[in-house]
Amino acid sequence: MSVSKGLVDDVLFEFLHAELVSYVLNSSKDGKKGDVTSLEYIGFSSGYRIIERLTKEWPRFKDELETMKFICTDFWSSIYKKQIDNLRTNHQGVYVLHENSFRFLRKISSGRQYLEAAPKFVAFTCGLIRGALANLGLDCTVTAEIQQMPACKFHIQVQKN
């Protein structure tokens, strides 16, 4: 019972996200079609709030890398039910999260045909990561790179101040 319930939850989240994307993009002002800023902002405020709950039972993070590891493992699996496949860093504030099968792109036919439709499906997640990190005290910019769906890379650049 609990297994089937989990599956239903997963689908609902995907539907909600798809609907969110289409609602936000259709209701944005004319001439600014494909403006993903507000999607990113919705992600930001969701991430900012949810991280408060997720880190509640967690010991304090030692450093930046440990925070990133938390994002890749616990944070990611509580939202996307899987962990990030690969995390790379130059140890100078740049982190690249490799996701081999990103959940919001998995249902789109793979290959290059729909590549130009992809940005709107990753904007929310970019915001989500940025919000979570912002609340943990790391100001950063997050961008996504898609070469071949459903794989996706998230670039995180931590702002040093």
Partner 1 sequence: MAVCVAVIGKDNSPKYILCLNPNQELQFHYRVHTSLDVVEEKLKATGDRDVRELYIGQLYSTEEHKIFGYVTNTRIKFIVVVESSNTSLRDNEVRMMFRNLHSAYTDVVCNPFYIPGDPITSKNFDNTVRRIMSGN
Closest distance of CB 38 from partner 1, Å: 15
Closest distance of CB 61 from partner 1, Å: 6
Pair 126, 143: CB distance under 8 Å: yes
Q: Which is nearer to partner 1, 58 or 114 (CB)?
A: 58
- Interface with partner 1 (CB under 8 A): 48-53, 55-56, 58-62, 135-137
Q: Which is nearer to partner 1, 9 or 66 (CB)?
A: 66
* Residue 62: partners with Cβ closer than 8 Å, 6 or more residues away: none
Q: Which is nearer to partner 1, 36 or 42 (CB)?
A: 42
Closest distance of CB 39 from partner 1, Å: 16
What's the rounded Cα separation, in Å, for the pair 132 and 141? 12
Q: Which is nearer to partner 1, 45 or 141 (CB)?
A: 45
Closest distance of CB 117 from partner 1, Å: 28
Pair 42, 124: CB distance under 8 Å: yes
Closest CA to 133 of 23, 59, 48, 55: 48
Pair 132, 44: CB distance under 8 Å: no
